[in-house]
């Protein structure tokens, strides 16, 4: 089986995220990157959207998850997204990076998680 990668960079979300209730009160800007490994051979050959992963749907699902939830840690947000990708889409592996813009004089804080479907038992 061929393994190819579909990447979405810089998905912007407003998310209730932070350790304290005060920090979670107002939505904060976070940015998400998603890399999905799957076989894209047939989609490339046929041009059929049904043979690939619809990246608009990926964006919508990521935004819905993060914007409807509340997370104490960036790690929890990243784990939720990587689990969503493996549970919702036909991928062999998923890598997620979540960036939070929270510290002064620091461009961002980033958490990266990468999981394989086989490691999940699915």
Beta strands (DSSP E) in the chain are 4-17, 28-38, 70-71, 93-100, 109-116
Q: Are 74 and 98 in contact (CB under 8 A)?
A: yes
Provide the percentage of residues in the chain whose pLDDT is more than 90: 89
At 2, is the pLDDT very low, low, confident or very high (cuts 50, 70, 90)?
confident
CA dist., res. 115 & res. 83, Å (int): 8
- Residues 39-81 have pLDDT tens digits of 999 999 999 999 999 999 999 999 999 999 999 999 999 999 9
CB 1 within 8 A of CB 39: yes
b or e along 3-22 (b: 16 or more beta carbons within 10 Å of the residue's beta carbon)?
Answer: eeebebeebebebbbbeeee
Domains and CATH numbers, the chain: 4-120 (3.30.1130.10)
């Amino acid at each position: 089986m061929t393994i190819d990668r579909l990447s979405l960079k810089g998905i912007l979300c407003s998310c209730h995220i932070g350790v304290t209730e005060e920090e979670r009160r107002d939505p904060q800007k976070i940015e998400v990157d998603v890399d999905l490994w799957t076989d894209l051979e047939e989609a490339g050959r046929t041009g059929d959207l049904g043979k690939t992963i619809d990246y608009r749907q990926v964006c919508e699902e990521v935004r819905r998850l993060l914007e409807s939830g509340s997370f104490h840690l960036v790690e929890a947000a990243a784990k939720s997204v990587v689990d969503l990708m493996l549970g919702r889409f036909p991928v062999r592996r998923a890598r997620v990076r979540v960036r939070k813009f929270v510290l002064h004089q620091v461009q961002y804080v980033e958490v990266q998680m990468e999981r394989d479907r086989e490691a999940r038992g699915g």
